[in-house]
Amino acid sequence: MHSANKIAIYLTLAVLAGGVFAQTQRQTTVSGVFDPDTADLKDGTAQQLKQAADDLKKGDKSNDGKCFPPARTEFKTYSKMTADPAFYDALATARKSALSAAMTQAGLSPDQFTVDDAPGNDGDVQVSADTADRQAPIMKVTSSPAKGKKVKAGDKIVVTINASERYEDGHKSRPSGVQMIQLISNPGGLVDSKQFGRPPDPCARQSVLMTFTVPDHPPPVVHLAALAEDAVGNRSSESADFPTKGNWFGAFDWSLEQDTPAGHQHWGGHADISLDEDGQGGLTGSLSGAQNQKLTLAKCHATTNVGINASLTGTLTESAHRMTVNIASQQSNWPSRTPCSEGISADTGSIVFSWPQLAETFRALQPVGDDAYEAERTLEFPVQVAPYTIHYKVKLTRAK
């Protein structure tokens, strides 16, 4: 061991979620692992780092492999910040690579540690137990009726939501515990919510039943989303759609991103689709949703959101696994100008119905299994000064 090396051990208290959830973390700093401006570990320091990691693991009795995951270690290399950022980046990257290789050679499995870097006392390496909850709760959601089933006004959709942060259920980082489960509807907002303590039991599996009643005059598709949040704010979600009319239902999502000398421009939107079959291969239906625009320009910051509607026709040839959809007519009050927060106005561009290759996308639907069709397309327009990218996605599923 290099005589200049020394170990400093201290205890850090990390308070998360507004002081509601607290966790402790032991850390060890090994100094002088690297000589100045080099990425080679000094003799004996790899085993010293490995021993420090092993000592931290011995102090943690909770890694049972059922609720808590196998212990993980974080290594952080420190390098002196110089006047040349490129040199700092290159040195930090080389040191991380060398440290990762050395720890693997010393017997640590690559999935048992991470390596990071930071400006600091040049050549030192911090070793800490990775006790952060980095992963959202693991969810399993079922419903009665099942998602994709057609529903009508007054029907009740009973949703069972199971959430866990146990290692044996698939949660790979240190659990902080499921703190909240919610059911959200669109339209409608919050349906139900349940809390599980502050802080919650990190190892408890939580299970709730929540019920949504389909409202009078429902939209073409009822959207439900189950959400689970842990004690440090990691959130997972799972969605389910329930058509209220039509033989086919689905969605159309679109976006356009453009960087200009003045700043960034974004357009996007979502629309629900409903289609009926006439029994002879013909399709008729509708599309309804909204388009938005967000301008982040030097002299204009603005947001626009306007509803859109369209009638649809099409054909379905099941023997050939072919579906085409045509936008027959359209309706929107999309404005030509939008007010900016700076007191001026800006151009809003065009509604999606006039965007390039939209019609071709709807006519290029491909089968996905036996009861779904979809088309997805990304278009690049490398025009001078202000290139832009368009993304379309259409997916239709047979109602059950």
pLDDT tens for each residue of 68-113: 988 789 999 999 988 899 999 999 999 999 999 999 999 988 878 9
Helix/strand/coil for 128: strand
Q: What is the pLDDT of residue 5?
A: 36
In terms of CATH, what superfamily is 138-243?
Immunoglobulins (2.60.40.10)
For residues 155 and 204, is the Cβ–Cβ distance under 8 A? no
Contacts of 5 (CB under 8 A, 6+ apart): 30, 31, 32, 33, 42, 44, 45, 48
Helix/strand/coil for 29: strand
Contacts of 299 (CB under 8 A, 6+ apart): 262, 340, 342, 344
CA separation for the pair 315, 63 (Å, rounded): 58
Sheet holding 248-260, edge to edge: 322-332, 301-317, 282-297, 263-277, 248-260, 388-398, 372-381, 366-367
Q: What is the pLDDT of residue 64?
A: 64
Give me the count of residues in the chain. Answer: 400
For residues 324 and 374, is the Cβ–Cβ distance under 8 A? no
% residues pLDDT > 70 (the chain) = 92
Beta-sheet strands, E only, within 231-354: 235-243, 248-260, 263-277, 282-297, 301-317, 322-332, 337-339, 345-347
* Phi, psi dihedral angles at 344 (to 5 degrees): -110, -175
Is the CATH number of domain 7-129 3.30.1330.60? yes
- The structure tokens 């357009």 sit at 267
Helices 85-105 + 45-58 axis angle, to 10:
70
Amino acid type, 114: T
Mean pLDDT across 227-248: 97
Mean pLDDT across 9-38: 59
18 CB burial (10 A radius; 0-12, 13-18, 19+)? exposed
Contacts of 338 (CB under 8 A, 6+ apart): 293, 295, 302, 303, 304, 345, 346, 348
CA separation for the pair 98, 104 (Å, rounded): 10
Mean pLDDT across 350-375: 96
CA separation for the pair 272, 9 (Å, rounded): 58
CA separation for the pair 155, 173 (Å, rounded): 40
Per-residue pLDDT of 303-341, as tens digits, reads 999 999 999 999 999 888 999 999 999 999 999 999 999
Amino acid type, 382: P
59 CB burial (10 A radius; 0-12, 13-18, 19+)? exposed
CA separation for the pair 376, 254 (Å, rounded): 10
172 CB burial (10 A radius; 0-12, 13-18, 19+)? middle
Question: What's the chain's average pLDDT?
Answer: 91
Per-residue pLDDT of 26-73, as tens digits, reads 788 999 999 999 999 999 999 999 999 888 877 565 666 699 988 789
> What one-character-per-residue DSSP string does 75-119 give?
EEEEE---S-HHHHHHHHHHHHHHHHHHHHHTT--GGGEEEEEEE
Q: In terms of pLDDT, which residue wins out, 269 or 17?
A: 269
Angle value at C-alpha 42, between 39 and 44, nearest 5 degrees: 140
Q: At residue 18, does pLDDT exceed 90?
A: no
Q: What is the pLDDT of residue 109?
A: 85
